[in-house]
Amino acid sequence: MVTMDLKHIFNELHYEIVRKIAEGGMGVVCEAQQRGIGGFTKVVAIKLIKEEFSAIEEFKNNFIGEAKLVADLIHTNIVQMYHLGQIGEQYFMTMEYVKGCNLDDFILKHRETNQKIPIDLAVFIVSRLTRGLAYAHDKCDTKGNNLGIVHRDINPKNVMIAQEGDVKITDFGIAKAFEEDNSGDLKDLMYNEEGYSIAGKDEYLSPEQARCEVTDNRADLFACGIIMAELILGENIFEGNDSEETIQFILEKPIPDFGTLRTDLDEKLNVILHNALQRDREARYQTAQEMLGHLEFYIYGGGYGPTNEKLAVYIKDLMGPDGENAAERWAYGDTPGL
């Protein structure tokens, strides 16, 4: 909850809290107006962590690590980070305000209205997702050292679609990445128990995550394959009745012939889906750039294909007359327990 005292302090920092977007057990996300001289204003999103969680060293370090990581990820397909601050013992981030819906709501709306997502738009959305991941995976520090970024939590709630049709990745809260320490060696930027515990949402885990193995960028590509299949079929192919069954399905359930499940899906896209969903990561797409190339050739190889503008028009039609309100059912990732 944002108290009157906190609102007053934010005002002193030149942020006017406009409204609460979402609240969870660990924090709150608000829309705010950032003010400057000469009547300058900018709409931003503020993620504020509750004081008791800011006091937990592991959580605090991860929150700071996420802000430091995303601050240097300047890309149209990644939600931008502007500032990390502290009020008393509470930490907050200011981020790009994206008016739109997350991919989970996008899928849910189609289920509620018994509609199928057009295949070209499904592929386009995942192509923009892999475009952002290609940038993040290839990101290097000032000395040319690859940061080894793996998002590890690519799922529909962490993918946003702006009303203008831009697709954006958010919530790098459990990402794996490196930074240079004082001695010049690379160390984990955020607390990481990889190899000992599972990180990520069960239904979107790669097989290596499900087995508690050390991951690399190819884990994110398996999640992209799951999302593309869900966009096309309207359901997650691995979701079971509980966590244990879901993980078993990820490790063992046969990957279907997608053309038999949706008749307007051709063999070329079926091959792309199977390449993304190879359980052996050596047989999977090796880079996001490679997967992006295949997706873009699929949708643009014959000439004109989908654009941000086409997706924007589709979202407006999908949401209907109450679209402006319906499109607000998102949160900036799951880190605050939203």
Catalytic residues, by residue number, are 153
How many other CB atoms are found less than 10 A from the CB of residue 125? 23
pLDDT digit string, tens, across residues 93-142: 999 999 988 999 999 999 999 999 999 999 999 999 999 999 999 999 88
Q: Please say if the pLDDT value at position 306 is more than 60.
A: yes
The pLDDT, as a whole number, for residue 242 is 95
Q: Which is it for strands 159-162 and 100-102: parallel, antiparallel or unpaired? A: antiparallel
In sequence order, what E strands does the chain have? 15-23, 27-35, 41-49, 81-87, 90-96, 100-102, 159-162, 167-169, 178-180, 186-188
What would the two tokens of residue 54 be? 């800011």
Max alpha carbon distance in the chain (Å)?
Answer: 61
In the chain, CATH 3.30.200.20 sits at 4-96
The pLDDT, as a whole number, for residue 21 is 84
Q: Please say if the pLDDT value at position 169 is more than 90.
A: yes
Q: What is the mean pLDDT of residues 275-286?
A: 98
In the chain, CATH 1.10.510.10 sits at 101-326
Are 46 and 87 in contact, with CB atoms under 8 Å apart?
Answer: no
pLDDT digit string, tens, across residues 201-253: 899 999 999 999 989 999 999 999 999 999 999 999 999 999 999 999 999 99
d(CA 131, CA 291): 9
Q: Is the pTM of this model over 0.75?
A: yes
176 or 308, which is more confident: 308
Residue type, 105: D
Task: Find the distance separating the first CA and the last CA of the chain, reported in whole Å.
Answer: 13
Q: Please say if the pLDDT value at position 329 is more than 80.
A: no
Residue 325 — very low, low, confident or very high, per pLDDT cuts 50/70/90? very low
The pLDDT, as a whole number, for residue 335 is 44
CATH for 101-326 (3.30.360.10, 1.10.510.10, 1.10.10.10, 3.40.50.300): 1.10.510.10
Tokens 């996001």 found at? 288
In sequence order, what E strands does 99-206 have? 100-102, 159-162, 167-169, 178-180, 186-188
d(CA 150, CA 176): 5
d(CA 13, CA 122): 41
Q: Determine the topology of domain 4-96 in CATH.
A: Phosphorylase Kinase; domain 1 (3.30.200)
Three-state secondary-structure class, residue 281:
coil
CA 333 to chain centre: 7
